[in-house]
Structure 1
């Protein structure tokens, strides 16, 4: 039982670090593209927006795949309402968690609650980071055309 907690905690730390580093790199590179780009200012904002959206989707998949791989580690680890959830069920639960929409039809069970609890915090922080970057870009270039 203690080994299950350790495995989930270690995997949670690694997945969270990977998501944050990935988001940092995506935001940095998108910022570089928008700063030197010859695109019209409003088009640069769209490139930034859709790039950040894609980054969030990939981060949701990262957490979902991690949960899918960790399913069954420890008693009751999985999705509480399902006997044999598939990968897309974990990705769906990951999206609900990451966006802090909350649990309605599915919820994590067992040791996976730690992963999903951490994902909620990381998702909230990464989404607000993206909102801040988009706001700054819009503030600087929205009326430049």
Structure 2
């Protein structure tokens, strides 16, 4: 039970960091889009910026999984080699809700996995909404 509570605290912390990062990235991209007049560049810059934000968020969760397993001892993720890139891969699979199932969390890391899936789905949807609104505004015929 303590592992789940501790993992929930870690998940909440990383979730807040991801929300702040995503909000600030979207705010910056929206300001840039208002200054640029050529709509092709606005959409490309927005997509590139959002992809960068998602990659950073995946890496934040990967760091959380690594720390939760190796430092806090909240559970394990059955990684093939146990190196850092396995955690990045696992985080990307969970964040995008791809769900291969080749790596499985145990104990408290299941809570962190659920939180990342919900966060990833929400932030990807939020990004799609911003992109849609920009294209709707800029690509009118």
The TM-score normalised by the length of structure 1 is 0.88
Match of 1:132 among 129, 132, 138: 129
Residue correspondences, number: 139
Q: Deviation at 1:86?
A: 1.5
Counterpart contact for 1:49–1:134, Cα < 8 Å: yes
How far, CA to CA, are the matches of 2:112 and 2:54 in structure 1?
A: 17
Question: The residue matched to 1:79 in structure 2 has which SS?
Answer: coil
Deviation above 6 Å: which 4+ runs of structure 1? none
Q: Deviation at 1:81?
A: 5.3
Alignment pair present for 1:36 and 2:35: yes
Structure 1 match to 2:85: 88
Counterpart contact for 1:97–1:119, Cα < 8 Å: yes
The 1:81/1:36 distance shift into structure 2, 3 A limit, reads closer
Query: What pairs up with 1:101-140 in 2 under 5 angstroms?
Result: 101-140=98-137
Alignment pair present for 1:55 and 2:53: yes
How far, CA to CA, are the matches of 2:43 and 2:34 in structure 1?
A: 11
Structure 1 match to 2:14: 15
Counterpart contact for 2:11–2:115, Cα < 8 Å: yes
Q: CA offsets, 1:7-58, max 9 Å, x none?
A: 22211110011001110000011011001224x1111110000000000000
Unaligned runs of 5+ in 1: none
How far, CA to CA, are the matches of 2:98 and 2:25 in structure 1?
A: 24
Give me the CA root mean square deviation: 1.6
Counterpart contact for 1:68–1:86, Cα < 8 Å: no
Q: CA offsets, 1:37-85, max 9 Å, x none?
A: 24x11111100000000000000000001100111523xx121354x51
